[in-house]
Amino acid sequence: MNAHIGVIRVLTSDDASTVAAHGRVIEERYGIPAVSRCIPGQPHGIHDDESERRAEPKIVALARELAADGAGTLVISCAADPALERTREAVDVPVIGAGSAAAAVALGLGSRVGVLGIRDEAPPAVRAVLGERFAGEARARGVHRTTDLQAPEGPAAVLEAAARLVEAGADTLLLACTGLNTIGIRPLLEDRLGVPVVDPVLAAGLMASYTRS
Amino acid sequence: MNAHIGVIRVLTSDDASTVAAHGRVIEERYGIPAVSRCIPGQPHGIHDDESERRAEPKIVALARELAADGAGTLVISCAADPALERTREAVDVPVIGAGSAAAAVALGLGSRVGVLGIRDEAPPAVRAVLGERFAGEARARGVHRTTDLQAPEGPAAVLEAAARLVEAGADTLLLACTGLNTIGIRPLLEDRLGVPVVDPVLAAGLMASYTRS
């Protein structure tokens, strides 16, 4: 297949480069052309049940649009996998959720997966895939929304939370917010903590690369 | 990382090209150098509980040897994930089981995963990862050991079993024997059945490619 992938961003932005950020990471890493668009009206993305519910119909609508415009695979770039099942029913191309993709990669790499996110509880979609290999969750202190990660103290808070998970026995970490890709924290965590760190955007790209051969 | 991966074959063979087959697939597809070796004394591989038990200590021993020789990641190239936990405990590098890697990739791609293998029951390691998304299992008629797949009637029997799974509602197929990679059946199945087909050797290679960046 030579079709591009369609990347659905759940963080609303007017800035084309911000919207394209995750698609660009996938293009660079896996050589798959990506077209990225964002849902409207959610400048802080998905950060609680209400914002998730509100996003769902918008995600399905955007998926139909991207598929109609020729995307051969779709990625919902949010670790909560919002509207994943509904979107799979709505379109005829494979739909990859960044959360379950990350959980899937983590299962392939380790046995006790620590989940690092922006909510107190790991996304249910991630926990469902991890099953018994879920080894705990942690939230970076002071971080409640994806946009908080970009504050100056964001990376240190993430490292501290990640270290807590590894001390508690995690042999693999899963970044349960695609905003953790945006701040490029994975190499720092792997370097400091010595465990594989699964980034949801890269995991989604990895799965997308599998569908194209 | 620039280290090679070590591929553990559970099918004993004197033929270097046979032993290297799965490693070669990973090298070609993912550009990762591979060193392949096989366990001794199992010319029909792993095909029942007894042959699996017998293989386990041999796999751990071979893993230690490959790691000592510089492998940066190990792949156990068998969909039953034999000795996966013991091997992870025995060495300091990531160990990927072809079965859980395939299950992981399947979870990233679909919601109802049909498992196609050489035993009546899907490997427990695969079922454990698939959880509620396991959608049934099928064995190709007349096939009981990986070596049976190479008979002239092998591919047709596999296609028939795969079609049964799709008719029963599977939206994704998982090949639960690395011998199904050896016979190169994936493109035929995808072409005829129109669903993504996850090959355990490619899935293991995909996971290995994630650990190298």
Residues A37 and A50 in one domain: yes
Question: Is the CB of residue B203 less than 8 Å away from at least one CB of chain A?
Answer: yes
Residue A191 corresponds to which tokens in the numbers above?
Answer: 């370097």
| pLDDT reading at A198 higher than 70 | yes
- Cβ of B103 within 8 Å of Cβ of A103? The answer is no
Closest CA to A189 of A165, A212, A211, A209: A165
User: Which of A94, A107, A196 has its CB closest to that of B104?
Assistant: A107
> Which residues in chain A are closer than 8 Å to B103, comparing Cβ atoms?
107
pLDDT given for residue B1 in this prediction:
46
> What are the pLDDT digits (tens) for B181-210?
888 889 999 999 989 899 999 999 998 888
Q: How many domains is chain B partitioned into structurally?
A: 2
pLDDT given for residue A103 in this prediction:
92
Torsion angle, alpha carbons of A21, A26, A28, A33, to 10 = -100
Residues A59 and A117 in one domain: no
Taking residues B146-150, report their average pLDDT.
78
Provide the domain limits for residue B111.
100-200
Residues B92 and B161 in one domain: no
> Which residues in chain A are closer than 8 Å to B105, comparing Cβ atoms?
104, 108, 207, 210
pLDDT given for residue B83 in this prediction:
96
In sequence order, what are the residues at sequence separation of 6 or more whose Cβ sits closer than 8 angstroms to the Cβ of residue B14? none
Residues A190 and A105 in one domain: yes
Question: Is the CB of residue A132 less than 8 Å away from at least one CB of chain B?
Answer: yes
Q: Which backbone phi and psi does A182 adopt, to 5 degrees?
A: -55, -40
Alpha-carbon gap, residue B191 to A161, rounded angstroms: 46
Residues A26 and A80 in one domain: yes
Q: How confident is the model at residue A1 (pLDDT cuts 50, 70, 90)?
A: very low
Indicate which CATH number applies to the domain containing A19.
Answer: 3.40.50.1860
Residues B9 and B91 in one domain: yes
Residues B120 and B192 in one domain: yes
| pLDDT reading at B212 higher than 90 | no
pTM of the model: 0.83
Residues B153 and B105 in one domain: yes
User: Which of A104, A128, A196 has its CB closest to that of B104?
Assistant: A104
User: Which of B107, B196, B202 has its CB closest to that of A104?
Assistant: B107
